[in-house]
Amino acid sequence: MGKLDLAKAILETGSFHWKTTPQFTLASGRVSEYYVNCKQLLSHPKYRRILAELIADHLKGWDIQAVGGMEIGAIPIATAVSDYVYDRTGRELRTFVVRKKAKDHGMKHAVEGAFQPGDRVLVMDDVLTTGQATIDAITQARAAGLDVRHALVLVDRQEDGGRQRVEALGVPLTGLLTLKDLKDLKGHPDA
């Protein structure tokens, strides 16, 4: 399985939208002619498996102990990767989730999961535009004592300086796909 399989899956699930005029409001508030919503993709076990296999290939050269990121987008990705790695190798790659807002009850943690301070981690997200969600996840993970070694996104829109902003924190970023990959495969905007 490769990135072409992932791109096809994104198109098959209707997770990529492309209009001739900007009409999708992004999290940043900017309006774009492109919208990527990986929630549809991540709702299918066969596509989560393709994704997990692709990410696991990247992990082979990375010394990490846990995977996670900002709720909601990172939860199914981290779970799929953790399960896939365990099923294939027996290696326990633990997961964590960064809350958008710390709970105001219980332990009041902003980062939840099976991790220890000092753990080497990969922060993941579905789509990168400005990079703010990934930056927030990195910042909160570091505040919880995690050593963020890498960041990975399913789709790097290659807009609004997202990659540069993340890497300015000293965290290398891997994007599995770009908007160009999706546009090239789709071929034309929706009517």
- Buried residues in 138-169 as b, exposed as e (16+ CB within 10 A): bebbbebebebbbbbbbbbbebbebbebbeee
The model's pLDDT over 45-104, given as tens digits with 9 standing for 90+, comes to 999 999 999 999 989 889 999 999 998 889 999 999 999 999 999 999 999 999 976 555
Q: Where are the domains of the chain?
A: 3-186
Q: Quick one: pLDDT band at residue 33, thresholds 50, 70, 90?
A: very high
Under CATH, what is the fold of the domain 3-186?
Rossmann fold (3.40.50)
Dihedral of alpha carbons 24, 25, 31, 36, sign: negative
pTM as predicted? 0.93
Average pLDDT over every residue of 26-54? 92
In whole angstroms, what separates CA 20 from the centre of its chain?
A: 27
The model's pLDDT over 143-189, given as tens digits with 9 standing for 90+, comes to 999 999 999 999 999 988 999 999 999 999 999 999 999 999 999 88
